[in-house]
A and B are shown apart, each in its own frame.
Chain A
Amino acid sequence: MAGVMDIIKKRRSVRSYTGEPVAKEKIERIIEAANHAPSAGNAYTWKIAVVQDGGLIRKIQSVSPGMLGRPAAILALCNDRKKAIETMGSKGGELFRFMDVAHAAQNICLMGAELGIGSCCIMSFNQDAVGALLEIPPQYRVDYLVALGYQDRDPVAPKKRSVEEAVLSWTGG
């Protein structure tokens, strides 16, 4: 069984897919992993819109320039802005809701990696346009997209920085 670090290193941003569909059970497992991500105030103001319809995936892609390749599924992480502000104040609406979906997305990508499913987090998309295509209720805002699918080629491998490069300061120890 692979350790956490193995899965972390296995996860890559995938931008080229085979076209093979991802089974519903695997997507449910991935969402279960997202549900275990930390959430400010344990508020969980986000929900996920799952898209597996090929035509709708194309339409979402056409307003999401950061989504490359043709994924088999898209998970749209949508925040209830009103709930975020009500439960966590103004910071909830301006900051925490984005941190929460980022935590959830990381779990999605790691669970995907464990299941052999490639993923790519996307910020370059038009929130209004994706919301309109998904017919998201008005209190929700699409804050993050994660593309899923089986990769058909190894992604480019940017060099990762060393531990020393990441440490700003280290006090005590």
Chain B
Amino acid sequence: MKEKDGRARGEWIELFCFISSSARSLVGEPEIYGPFRLVDTLERIIDLLGRQGVLDDEFLNSEKEKIVEKKFDVMVNRESFIDFLDELVMDFTRELKKEEL
């Protein structure tokens, strides 16, 4: 395995650790932590795809910025956080409509 590939793999393993430990923690944690962990994961995936040069585009980067800006609303304004989730779903849905699957 090339050194660069090894680092790339390490970063994905790091993410998989985050996802699996989140799943385990969520068994006993408040319900709202679930949506938070999922959007946090989304941000991490977009970030990793961009950093590794796999998928780096304007739409994804702007969604990542939106997540960074809004995710902590979960702690201070639950309604605003849910509105943000609604917005996120529709952002990705509009993008999906443009795709040929």
Contacts and interface: CB of A to CB of B under 8 A. Distances in A.
Interface residues of B, number: 17
Contacts of B40: 65, 68
B75 A62 contact: no
Interface in A150-169: 155-159
Contacts of B22: 65
B6 to A, nearest CB: 14
B76 to A, nearest CB: 5
Interface string B76-97: 1000000000000000000000
B21 A65 contact: yes
Given A124-B33, A126-B24, A156 B75 contact: yes
Q: Contact size class for A?
A: 10 to 19
A139 to B, nearest CB: 23
Contacts of B25: 65-66, 124-126
Interface centre among A64, A65, A155 (most CB of B within 10 A): A65
B3 to A, nearest CB: 15
A125 B24 CA distance: 9
A156 B33 contact: no
B72 A156 contact: yes
A61 B75 CA distance: 20
B17 A62 contact: yes
B42 to A, nearest CB: 13
Contact of A62 (B21, B33, B72): B21
Contact of B21 (A68, A125, A155, A159): A125
A58 interface: yes
Nearest to B68: A16
B99 interface: no
B29 A124 contact: yes
A62 B24 contact: no
Interface of A: 15, 58-59, 61-66, 68, 124-126, 129, 155-159
Given A63-B18, A65-B18, A158-B76, 7 more contacts: A61-B18, A63-B21, A64-B21, A124-B33, A129-B21, A156-B73, A157-B76
